[in-house]
Structure 1
Amino acid sequence: MWTPRIWMCCMLLETFMHGVRGLNMCMGGSATSCEECLLIHPSCAWCAQEDFGRGRTLTSRCDFSQNLQKRGCESQFIEFPSSSTSVLKNVPLSSKGSGPTQYDVTQIMPQKISLSLRPGDQTWFEVQVRQVEDYPVDLYYLMDLSLSMKDDLDTIRNLGTKLAQEMGKLTSNFRLGFGSFVDKNMSPFSYTAPKYQENPCNGYKLFPNCVPSFGFRHILSLTDKVDRFNEEVQKQMVSRNRDAPEGGFDAILQASVCKERIGWRKEAYHLLVFATDDVPHLALDGKLGGLVQPHDGRCHLDGNNEYSASTMMDYPSLALLGEKLAENNIYLIFAVTKRLYVIYKNFTALIPGTTVEILDQDSKNIIQLIINAYNNIRSKVELTVWDHPEDISLSFTATCQDGQPLPGLRKCADLKIGDTVSFNVSVEARSCPPRGTDQSFTIKPVGFKDRLEVAVDYRCDCSCSRTARANSSICSSIGTYNCGTCRCEPGYLGARCECQEGETSSMYLSACREAEGKQVCSGRGECSCNQCLCYESEFGKIYGSFCECDDFSCARHKGILCSGHGECHCGECKCHAGYIGDNCNCSTETSPCISDDGQMCSGRGSCVCGRCQCTEPGAFGDTCEKCPTCPDACGTKRECIECRLFNSGRLADNQTCQRLCKDEIITVETLKTDDPGAVLCLYKTDNDCVMKFTYSEHANGQSVLTALQEPECGGGPDAMMVLLAVVGSILLVGIVLLAAWKLVITIHDRREFARFQSARSRARYEMASNPLYKHPISTHAVETDFNMYGKSYNGGVH
């Protein structure tokens, strides 16, 4: 945490760094008086001692305090004012309301302080905020009564009783009010033909009867008698307008500024629930109907509690709405249908202290919606600054419930009722206002009646100036002696007004050179009576003991000297609080780099000059929050799917779902995965179902999650059927394999037998025809002739 000792160390370090660079901005400046010296730098001091530097050719009364003492200036003559803080009112914080009828509680501490600021010098103070338990709540329900909201009107007819029961769990003092709106009763916003004057639904078959359109109608002032709310709602009828947008912003403004009519209590939380199913008309839309007068931001309810200036003034602007809501400590809750969520979400960035919730088509979730919005409001604290003087710089460091300082942040979230958070506020004045000007500003948490009033006193004058003497003998009776120096009458120069303009000599000329060989008065002035009179320049001021300095030769950014965030002193930019760099173009503010989850650049980059430089491949966005291709993208978006669609998961219990999960979620029955720009994500739920969704980025930078309406779940398997199927499958596979084996063997045998038969048929032959076969028996024929009994025979023997 910042302390005065740390500030002193920083100041000494800065002084040392200037010494290292060889630049003494105090002696090198153009200070000719104590007041001018104090404006150069907060480390500069002035010596008002009369005989200081006497006997020296050239000396400067403006220097660092320690240097002045070394050069002989006594401490009582050194003018060195510093910034300081005084607490004027510091009532301790309350922990709980004091009763159902009187809530004299304190939620911010301190309540009044006074600052004494020396330009360029920083001081600081601490602000503590605690939301008390059992604080009263005023809730005004502002409903769109155009024809499309007829089913919603039927739903809320008994809203008062149910809402009072639920809010009774959060506060013992709850009041409820009711108002309605349609649109300006003029063309082209509403039907103006004679046949529609009494009944704009004339000829409309679905709803033939409705009341004439109106801008805003206050119906029931805030009351703890919730039955009255139900009774008034029962009497209401819808109306009909011509164009799609409604005149809801007219109604919001009137409900905010007509405090007495509505009945807002000073000691209560003010909740304004704005329920609609269409977009609103904005400022300048009234020109379509010839309304050119801007809204004056005042209450215009007539005797019938109707908005009487509806057809005389234009619709209010977002800036005017934000101003009046903050001025009257009103939290605005947009309760809109899903298709309008992105539009109204953009409005919340422009109107401080507003939230947006998704309303069902028939408003059946309105009670839970209000409870969620109230818990969300009560879980955060954000400081705002009112009537901030332009010449004062403020920087904040938040210390939330975890005790970790967060520089540049002025809000804390995820709080519980009774948590105390603190903010360290450093203040710096950049210049001095005109004498006699009273400055002040107010710091207050958004939506709180409690505030811290800060009075500012500038330390721009030196105490020695109170004893200034005109026509002093010290100044040759032709000048005013003030803080050790003479302010000479016109035409006279010198430390004691002893010279007249135009007198020069070689002795005087040597005193007008910064060093031997340098030009007289740096070539940018004339030497007169051992002093340099610097020339005037159209670019700025030339100054210094030797005219060596100017206020226009510093670094520029986009053509602007010191980027407009610093002052040029002798060629060097002296940056205002919150800026650094040679040309003061780099902001030290880190709050724009804090993502909604409290991380710096979502943990995917670094904050450079107040902007995130994303280092994670595929990451983009103001805080590097968008990264469909990051490894953790699906895991991060899964938590949003769980809490937004099923009210489960890690974010469902700590009331951070709506804060961290701002992406548009679209539910579908069948998920398309052919979009090349979308990342498909899936995860397994606790009941073993599979949830699928896609994550993509639209051209306008809006993240879109497209998810299945319900996870994909398969029925549980039958164990017996699985067993029978497995056994049957095994048997079937065995039989098939056996049959295949038998078929293969049969085919193989048949092929072998056929091959044998073919070989056998080719090997069959007659043995006698075998040339290698020789019969074992040989037969030879022998012829013989012999006579037997006188007869001759011729025969053969074999």
Structure 2
Amino acid sequence: MWIPGRAALCWLLLETLLRSAGGLNVCMSGSATSCEECLLIHPSCAWCAQEDFGLRRSLTSRCDFKQNLHKRGCEPRFIEYPSSSVSILKNSPLSTKGSGSALYDVVQIMPQKISLSLRPGDPTLFNLEVRQVEDYPVDLYYLMDLSLSMKDDLHTIRNLGTKLAEEMGKLTSNFRLGFGSFVDKNMSPFSYTAPKYHENPCNGYKLFPNCVPSFGFRHILSLTDQVDRFNEEVQKQMVSRNRDAPEGGFDAILQAAVCKEEIGWRKEAYHLLVFTTDDVPHLALDGRLGGLVQPHDGRCHLNDQNEYSASTKMDYPSLALLGEKLAENNIFLIFAVTKRFYVIYKNFTALIPGTTVEILDQDSKNVIQLIIAAYNNIRSKVELTVSDHPEDIGLSFTATCQDGKPLPGFRKCEDLKIGDTVSFNVSVEARSCPPRGTDQTFTIKPVGFKDLLEVTVDYQCDCGCSQTAQVNSSICSSIGTYNCGTCQCEPGYLGAHCECQEGDASSMYLSACREAEGKQVCSGRGECSCNQCLCYESEFGKIYGSFCECDDFSCARHKGILCSGHGECHCGECKCHAGYIGDNCNCSTETSFCFSDDGKMCSGRGNCVCGRCQCTEPGAFGDTCEKCPTCPDACGTKRECIECRLFNSGRLADNQTCQRLCKDKIITVESLENDDPGAVLCLYKTDDDCVMKFTYSEHVSGRSVLTALKEPECVTGPEALMVLLAVVGTILLIGLVLLAAWKLVITIHDRREFARFQSARMRARYHMASNPLYKQPITTHFAEMETFEKSFNGGLH
């Protein structure tokens, strides 16, 4: 169940080979005069405790890379080279179900107890697994705002207990329900304090003339499986009235969390605290408006009447105190608030681990669906927290969730199903050595779980050879302590075997005190005594080395701090602590801060340099280069968030990663007007051939804002049959019109031709029946004479 630090050791070995082959040997260039000092220089350094090793040169030659010590003749049994390790002390298997009598035996995290042996700078790894078991007991405490504006909600929840028990019964067979209420501190300026309001703060209020005196917090019903009692107690309640808009809800939350015996929280159950209100809460320091300068002490203050007795004595609790007590008592807080204050409480959830927020209807009619949704949301994620974390120990997490993809820097998995198992790879590194005999203990636990992993740490800062040190050893001329192959001489004596006294000097020894021919004796910073350099003291730091050539204060600085505070100065060179590089150790090698929410390094738009992203994509910015309105893929990336957040569709909805990847603020509007010149207009076509429009912009605060239409713009298309009939009808109509026009033209043409024929016929000088080529031989004149007479007679008339 644990993974040894092989990757870290391989990296250190590679680093060792590189440095010993053609670079600075960090071990030999250090100031180590003892085994313990050598181990602190670098995790790849080893010490040779062999007696006859390195007598001619300086004692620091005993400190070197392990393979170098082998080459120089040091036997393996004399090499001190401790490394970090992990030991599993308790590793019970994960449970599958939580129901039954032996609830204390339910295991949701594995292992449960480990021991770490850490060498400073040498990281080691271990793995832990978490599983949310099925049918786990649930304790739900309903904390309700009973200020005057919540009177409609009080009427709605009168039968809440029965309905809620029925719904929760589908999720767990062991459910208990409790009830409490709050208003605000009964003092000015938070409540009405005039004498006429003492008994009835609603005195003179026409809309609701009767109410009870205001109070801070009142515990009404301890957790019980008798849901009928919940209904009975709720029906007895009456609303009160306070003076200002904010409520004293945080006082009530803290009391409900820390008064464990009075509330009845079970250790072996999930603890849900449902907080319902329609306004903002008072925060720490608001109490000073009423003269309350004493900070909240985080303790339970319920009197015999189960009322908060310190309401008018202490200030409101801070968010930090609230989060600490909720985590300490494994309580999931559910903010059930009206839509108007959703954003405010959403911001609170970022500061209080294990907290969710849901939108409550004005009359609380959706409270059951809200609680069920919040419970499912809580059970769908696992987030690790660390308690009592020692400052000299560094922790880094890599989460492996259901998709099997490692997420460096993440300590949370979401979108899980009950029974799913997730794992976390934890890297632990000691940065320094505490005082001798100091052991550290810290815990890692999922938010809201009673299960935890207890981690005990001891430090590999002492060498094994130090346990066999010989006082007044003959090897050290009986005037020194022989420890790990070296003599630690009594004051006034010098030499590899304490064979010389201070003050002894001879010209024959001077050459041994020069680093090279022509250089100063002891580099001009010490005196040559007994074939050794005695270095002067300096007000700036320590001067050391075989020839006093080194010191611990002549290294590069960053912002006036030696080695940036992230390394040690050894002989003019900064020896950086693990996790830092550079001439002055100002460059962090930590990359966890460079990973964006989608698991990509700098969102794929930059490089991680010194622990921070340097964006290379034009227009990209943000801590992880996640903001880039002008990037080609910006619209495509934000489109997926619009789909999953507003319509629960698209790729992210299928993969159940919407909440983790899409944290931008989304504003829905009826019509989209792009008044912001810095906003980018994005459009895409939906599956039903509608067009969705939204804008993407970055506010001055640095927060991304998406403004989208509530619904895609859809143009209703005509039915195919109607289109076909219309087309056919149009063709027929055009054909009839053309046919009628053709008929009309033909008719007009025929009539014109006929008229022309008639006209020609009338102008003819002969009868149709006579042939002009033939003339009869007989001419009759009577007809002509008769015609003439008629014409003549007519003219006379």
TM-score band, normalised by the shorter chain? 0.7 to 0.9
Q: Specify whether residues 358 and 574 from structure 1 end up closer, same or farther in structure 2 by C-alpha distance, changes over 3 A only.
A: farther
**Cross-structure match for 2:138:** 137
Q: Specify whether residues 448 and 24 from structure 1 end up closer, same or farther in structure 2 by C-alpha distance, changes over 3 A only.
A: same
- Aligned residue identity for 1:385: V
**Is it true that 1:208 corresponds to 2:209 in the alignment?**
yes
**Cross-structure match for 2:161:** 160
- Aligned residue identity for 1:539: F
Q: Distance in 1 between matches of 2:412 and 2:303?
A: 40
Note the alpha carbon deviations across 1:144-176, whole angstroms, 9 max, x for none.
222222223233222222222222222222222
**Cross-structure match for 1:796:** none
Q: Distance in 1 between matches of 2:349 and 2:248?
A: 18
**Cross-structure match for 1:779:** none
Q: Distance in 2 between matches of 1:71 and 1:674?
A: 75
**Cross-structure match for 2:769:** none
Which region of structure 1 is more displaced relative to structure 2, 486-495 or 164-173? 164-173
Could you list the runs of 5+ residues in structure 2 that have no partner in the other structure? Answer: 745-797
- Aligned residue identity for 2:541: G
Note the alpha carbon deviations across 1:251-277, whole angstroms, 9 max, x for none.
111111111111111111112222222
Note the alpha carbon deviations across 1:19-39, whole angstroms, 9 max, x for none.
134322222222222222222
Q: Is the partner of 2:61 in helix, strand or coil?
A: coil
How do 1:308-327 and structure 2 match up within 5 A?
Answer: 308-327=309-328
**Is it true that 1:190 corresponds to 2:172 in the alignment?**
no
Note the alpha carbon deviations across 1:438-461, whole angstroms, 9 max, x for none.
221111112111111111122222
Q: Is the 8 A contact 1:468 1:481 kept in 2?
A: yes
Q: Is the 8 A contact 1:409 1:590 kept in 2?
A: no
Q: Specify whether residues 92 and 575 from structure 1 end up closer, same or farther in structure 2 by C-alpha distance, changes over 3 A only.
A: farther
Residue 636 of structure 1: CA displacement?
Answer: 4.6
- What TM-score comes out, normalization by structure 2 length? 0.85
**Cross-structure match for 2:344:** 343
Note the alpha carbon deviations across 1:44-80, whole angstroms, 9 max, x for none.
2222222333466877322223333333333222222
Q: Is the partner of 1:341 in helix, strand or coil?
A: helix
Q: Specify whether residues 375 and 510 from structure 1 end up closer, same or farther in structure 2 by C-alpha distance, changes over 3 A only.
A: farther
Q: Distance in 1 between matches of 2:540 and 2:471?
A: 35
Q: Specify whether residues 706 and 483 from structure 1 end up closer, same or farther in structure 2 by C-alpha distance, changes over 3 A only.
A: closer
Q: Distance in 2 between matches of 1:58 and 1:103?
A: 58
**Cross-structure match for 1:251:** 252
Q: Is the 8 A contact 2:31 2:570 kept in 1?
A: no
Q: Is the partner of 1:425 in helix, strand or coil?
A: strand
Q: Distance in 2 between matches of 1:99 and 1:38?
A: 52
Q: Is the 8 A contact 1:89 1:112 kept in 2?
A: yes
Q: Distance in 1 between matches of 2:592 and 2:339?
A: 30
**Cross-structure match for 1:68:** 69
**Cross-structure match for 1:472:** 473
Q: Is the 8 A contact 2:555 2:563 kept in 1?
A: yes
- Aligned residue identity for 1:555: A
Which region of structure 1 is more displaced relative to structure 2, 367-376 or 601-610? 601-610
Note the alpha carbon deviations across 1:167-202, whole angstroms, 9 max, x for none.
222222222222222211111111111122222222
Residue 614 of structure 1: CA displacement?
Answer: 3.9
Q: Distance in 1 between matches of 2:155 and 2:659?
A: 27
> How much is the aligned-residue C-alpha RMSD, in angstroms?
3.2
Which region of structure 1 is more displaced relative to structure 2, 176-185 or 628-637? 628-637
Q: Distance in 1 between matches of 2:732 and 2:623?
A: 61
Residue 279 of structure 1: CA displacement?
Answer: 1.8
Q: Is the 8 A contact 1:520 1:527 kept in 2?
A: yes
Note the alpha carbon deviations across 1:452-505, whole angstroms, 9 max, x for none.
111112222222222323233322232222222222221221112222222223
Residue 581 of structure 1: CA displacement?
Answer: 3.6
Q: Is the partner of 1:442 in helix, strand or coil?
A: strand
**Cross-structure match for 1:272:** 273
Residue 327 of structure 1: CA displacement?
Answer: 1.0
Note the alpha carbon deviations across 1:219-262, whole angstroms, 9 max, x for none.
22222222222222222222222222221111111111111111
Q: Distance in 2 between matches of 1:407 and 1:232?
A: 49
Q: Distance in 1 between matches of 2:5 and 2:257?
A: 42
- Aligned residue identity for 1:378: R
Q: Distance in 1 between matches of 2:649 and 2:23?
A: 64
Residue 549 of structure 1: CA displacement?
Answer: 2.7
Q: Distance in 1 between matches of 2:718 and 2:632?
A: 34
Q: Is the partner of 2:341 in helix, strand or coil?
A: helix
Identical residues among aligned pairs (%)? 86
Q: Specify whether residues 301 and 591 from structure 1 end up closer, same or farther in structure 2 by C-alpha distance, changes over 3 A only.
A: farther
Q: Specify whether residues 190 and 87 from structure 1 end up closer, same or farther in structure 2 by C-alpha distance, changes over 3 A only.
A: same
**Cross-structure match for 2:422:** 421
**Is it true that 1:462 corresponds to 2:438 in the alignment?**
no
**Is it true that 1:372 corresponds to 2:373 in the alignment?**
yes
**Cross-structure match for 1:566:** 567
Residue 140 of structure 1: CA displacement?
Answer: 1.6
Q: Distance in 2 between matches of 1:164 and 1:45?
A: 65
Which region of structure 1 is more displaced relative to structure 2, 214-223 or 599-608? 599-608
How do 1:544-559 and structure 2 match up within 5 A?
Answer: 544-559=545-560
**Is it true that 1:516 corresponds to 2:517 in the alignment?**
yes
Q: Distance in 1 between matches of 2:344 and 2:735?
A: 63
Q: Specify whether residues 335 and 129 from structure 1 end up closer, same or farther in structure 2 by C-alpha distance, changes over 3 A only.
A: same
Q: Specify whether residues 128 and 468 from structure 1 end up closer, same or farther in structure 2 by C-alpha distance, changes over 3 A only.
A: same
Note the alpha carbon deviations across 1:735-754, whole angstroms, 9 max, x for none.
89x99xx9xxxxxxxxxxxx
Q: Is the 8 A contact 2:562 2:584 kept in 1?
A: yes
Q: Is the 8 A contact 2:678 2:697 kept in 1?
A: yes
Q: Is the 8 A contact 1:83 1:115 kept in 2?
A: yes
Q: Distance in 1 between matches of 2:59 and 2:434?
A: 33
Q: Is the 8 A contact 1:408 1:589 kept in 2?
A: no
Q: Specify whether residues 201 and 519 from structure 1 end up closer, same or farther in structure 2 by C-alpha distance, changes over 3 A only.
A: farther
Which region of structure 1 is more displaced relative to structure 2, 446-455 or 62-71? 62-71
**Cross-structure match for 1:410:** 411
Q: Is the partner of 1:511 in helix, strand or coil?
A: helix
Which region of structure 1 is more displaced relative to structure 2, 692-701 or 387-396? 692-701
Q: Is the 8 A contact 2:442 2:454 kept in 1?
A: yes
**Cross-structure match for 2:228:** 227
Q: How many residues matched?
A: 741
Q: Specify whether residues 261 and 239 from structure 1 end up closer, same or farther in structure 2 by C-alpha distance, changes over 3 A only.
A: same
Q: Distance in 1 between matches of 2:638 and 2:234?
A: 40
**Cross-structure match for 2:755:** none
Note the alpha carbon deviations across 1:357-378, whole angstroms, 9 max, x for none.
2223333332222222222222
**Is it true that 1:586 corresponds to 2:602 in the alignment?**
no
- Aligned residue identity for 1:66: Q
Q: Is the 8 A contact 1:442 1:453 kept in 2?
A: yes
- Aligned residue identity for 1:112: K
**Cross-structure match for 2:239:** 238
Residue 84 of structure 1: CA displacement?
Answer: 1.8
Q: Distance in 2 between matches of 1:371 and 1:599?
A: 34
Q: Specify whether residues 290 and 722 from structure 1 end up closer, same or farther in structure 2 by C-alpha distance, changes over 3 A only.
A: farther
**Cross-structure match for 2:148:** 147
- What TM-score comes out, normalization by structure 1 length? 0.85
Q: Distance in 1 between matches of 2:507 and 2:728?
A: 118
Q: Specify whether residues 557 and 336 from structure 1 end up closer, same or farther in structure 2 by C-alpha distance, changes over 3 A only.
A: farther
**Cross-structure match for 2:382:** 381
Residue 432 of structure 1: CA displacement?
Answer: 1.8
Q: Specify whether residues 260 and 364 from structure 1 end up closer, same or farther in structure 2 by C-alpha distance, changes over 3 A only.
A: same
Residue 90 of structure 1: CA displacement?
Answer: 1.1
Q: Distance in 2 between matches of 1:513 and 1:651?
A: 71
Q: Is the 8 A contact 1:619 1:626 kept in 2?
A: yes
**Is it true that 1:439 corresponds to 2:440 in the alignment?**
yes
**Cross-structure match for 1:757:** none
Q: Is the partner of 1:50 in helix, strand or coil?
A: coil
Q: Specify whether residues 58 and 264 from structure 1 end up closer, same or farther in structure 2 by C-alpha distance, changes over 3 A only.
A: closer
Q: Distance in 1 between matches of 2:166 and 2:21?
A: 70
